[in-house]
């Protein structure tokens, strides 16, 4: 994160705060999703 801030001239503290908010939003999303999904689930990750 520090490298990204330095490379793009961004405020490091703001990036950390945004990352924390994203983590919270993702956790909330997964919590809601886990209540909706019943049965087995396959997760496919494509990093291309």
Q: How confident is the model at residue 11, as a pLDDT?
A: 95
Q: How confident is the model at residue 4, as a pLDDT?
A: 86
Q: How confident is the model at residue 39, as a pLDDT?
A: 87
Output the pTM of the full model.
0.58
The predicted-structure confidence for 8-45, as pLDDT tens digits, reads as follows 999 999 999 999 999 999 999 999 988 998 888 888 99
Q: How confident is the model at residue 24, as a pLDDT?
A: 94
**Which residue, among 30, 31, 24, 27, has the nearest Cα to 43 in the 3D structure?**
30
Whether 35 contacts 42, CB under 8 Å: no
**Which residue, among 21, 13, 18, 23, has the nearest Cα to 2 in the 3D structure?**
13
Q: How confident is the model at residue 41, as a pLDDT?
A: 84
Main-chain phi, psi angles of 43, to 5 degrees? -110, 125
């Amino acid at each position: 994160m520090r490298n990204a801030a330095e490379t793009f001239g961004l405020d490091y503290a703001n990036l950390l705060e945004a990352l924390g908010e994203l983590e919270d939003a993702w956790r909330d999303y997964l919590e809601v999703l886990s209540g909706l999904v019943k049965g087995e689930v396959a997760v496919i990750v494509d990093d291309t």
